Amino acid sequence: MTNIRVISPGILTTVQDRGRYGYQELGVPVSGAMDDLSFRLANILVGNDQNEAELELTYSGPSLQFDADTVVAITGADMSPKLEGKVAPMYESFLVKKDQTLSFGKLKSGIRAYIAFGGSIDVALVNGSKSTQTKIKMGGFQGRPLKAKDILKVKVNPSATCGKVLKEKYRPKNSKFAVIRAVLGPQDDYFTQKGIHDLFVSGGYMISKEFDRMGIRLKGSKIEHKETADIISDGTVFGSIQVPANGEPIILMADRQTTGGYTKIATVISADLPKLAQMQFLDKIIFQEVGIEEAQEITCKYEENFKNIIEDLK
């Protein structure tokens, strides 16, 4: 067992796995890692199951002191990681020795980074998940972000090895502009043809100041409804594009509400959600329409990529 002491917590550092599924009907949000790609890559590098919990860092990283040798990997946003004050690698498993400190500096790209530990974070499973939902204080480390002086326990996997390096071709590139593919529906029939046209061909949207783990409000061409923006509340998914009466689209993210009473014009495909997870205020996106079959093919390629990575790391 490794005890990891939090010297400073960063802005928002939480324990996340891939989410708490099966409880939306009871009003329990799914939560989980915002950037599924970076999250899974970190676990693969340290030899964990791809769903094992990690630390998700937002904007700035913590300073952590280890009381035992531990293999770690850092992926996602470049927050200038340092080990004992010297540059630490990203997308590579490496050893943090007893009494050493892992810290982070200037944010260079993206906004969310992930730290995977070779082993498992010792927090309770709540409804089958270790993910933190801060608004309802559920899961993770006492249902909240880490604070200074917290002690995070990790059950170390003795077979975890350092020196696994992810090839450059597999490393995601964080950008301030992205093409985001989406499938129409489920309530596209509530919108005029002009409204649907404007979503995909208006010149794009800028991310507003209103963005967090729940959703991303966009600024740009207003989406036109035929009559009303309201529907009988129904289920939401990660990537639902809601359009309230003001016509400004909102992309629902990991901590979204379980149901919503606004029309949903389209749904972002799962393979493009990691791009959104690394974007922030004033970044720009353009939506591209894809059909269901094409979206399924993209998802299959996305999953196949992980198999290729695992093979390459052997």
Query: CA–CA distance from 297 to each of 251, 284, 293, 301 (Å)?
Result: 22, 26, 6, 6
Report the percentage of the chain scoring pLDDT > 70: 100
Q: Domain ranges in the chain?
A: 2-166, 177-306
Phi, then psi, of 77 in degrees rounded to 5: -60, 145
Q: What is the mean pLDDT of residues 90-116?
A: 98
Q: What is the pLDDT of residues 11-57, one digit of tens each?
A: 999 999 999 999 999 999 999 999 999 999 999 999 999 999 999 99
Contact 220, 214 (CB under 8 A): no
pLDDT at 203: 87
Q: What is the mean pLDDT of residues 238-246?
A: 97
Q: What is the pLDDT of residues 112-157, one digit of tens each?
A: 999 999 999 999 999 999 999 999 999 999 999 999 999 999 999 9
Fold classified for 177-306: Cyclophilin (2.40.100)
Average pLDDT, the chain: 97
pLDDT at 202: 83
Judge whether residue 251 has pLDDT over 90: yes
Q: How far apart are CA 246 and CA 230, in angstroms?
A: 11
Q: What is the mean pLDDT of residues 97-123?
A: 97
Q: Report which DSSP code applies to 295.
A: H
Q: What is the pLDDT of residues 185-227, one digit of tens each?
A: 999 999 999 999 999 998 899 999 999 999 999 999 999 999 9
Q: How far apart are CA 309 and CA 74, in angstroms?
A: 16
Contact 253, 19 (CB under 8 A): no
pLDDT bin (cut points 50, 70, 90) of residue 170 is very high
pLDDT bin (cut points 50, 70, 90) of residue 162 is very high
